[in-house]
Structure formats: C-alpha cells, structure tokens
Homo-oligomer: A and B are copies of this chain.
Amino acid sequence: MRNNTMGSLIWLRLMRFTNQSNQMSNDFLKRFDLTTAQFDVLMQIRIYQPLTQSELAEKVTVTQGGISRMLARLEKENYIVRKQDWKTKTINLTAKAEAILDQAMPEQLAFQTSFFDDVLDEEEQKTLYKLMTRVHKYSQKRELPSE
C-alpha cells in the first residue's frame, strides 16, 4: 500500500524530525527559562539590533501579528525594550537578556549540533546542508509567484 513518493517521504521525515527536535530543544532550554521560539527571536535581535518589528518578523518567518504577540511576551519578561521611534518601534535587548544569551547560546549551539555530529560525518553534513539549502531557497522563490 505504499503509494508514497520519495518527496512525500522526505517531507514527512522533515516534519516529524523538526517537530521532535523542537520539543527536545524546549526541554533543554527550560533551565534558562526560555522556549525555542524565544531563543530564536532573541538571537536574531542580538545579531541585528536595533531593528524594527517588521524586519524581525521577516527574519524569523512569522507574520506581523505573530511577532507583535511574541514581543509583548518578551517585554513582559524584561528580555527586550521597544521604543516608539518615528513611525516604527525599535527593539533592543535588555542586559538581562544579553546575560542569559551569553550563557545559553554556546550550549544551545552544542545541543543543536549534537543531533548531526553524532550520526553524520563532516562530508555528510555538508551534503545535507547543501541539499536543504537548495530546497529551501527554491521554496522561497515559489512564494512570490508574482516576480
């Protein structure tokens, strides 16, 4: 009864894996009092701060509404500050967030890395990265069929 294509099998694998590793990552980050989504957003802010909400939304592939809610939560926890700056709101990390990230970042990187380092050699990782990059970039291109 295997009426599945290779593509659909890959798709399923990707979905299940990201789902699972995401949850494991949430678990791992619990000791820093962060979720995976929050870590992701805070890292992007750290790299690009100061930046506006729309810029950030684009970087983490979330809608304007989504980023608005996320930032409201992060602000409530004192991880970021937003200030009205002309028409837009400018986002910056607080010292608290910087301190947590200094701790959490190397550990989270090591955690992510361990998913691959333990089962794939360097060559295989490069191959996987290259293939996924092609697939991802292609999917982004399809998103704007008007261009």
Contact = CB atoms under 8 A, between A and B. Distances in A.
B109 A135 contact: no
Interface string A1-38: 10111111111011111111110100000000000000
Nearest to A6: B125
Interface stretch (A49-57, A73-81, A89-97, A126-134): A126-134
A6 B116 CA distance: 9
A112 interface: yes
- Which size bracket describes the interface of A in this complex? 35 or more
Contacts of A115: 7, 11, 135, 138-139
Contact of A113 (B8, B127, B136): B8
A15 B40 CA distance: 10
Contacts of A7: 112-117, 125
Nearest to A16: B61
A141 to B, nearest CB: 10
Interface of A: 1, 3-11, 13-22, 24, 40, 47, 61, 109, 112-120, 122, 124-129, 131-136, 138-140, 142-143
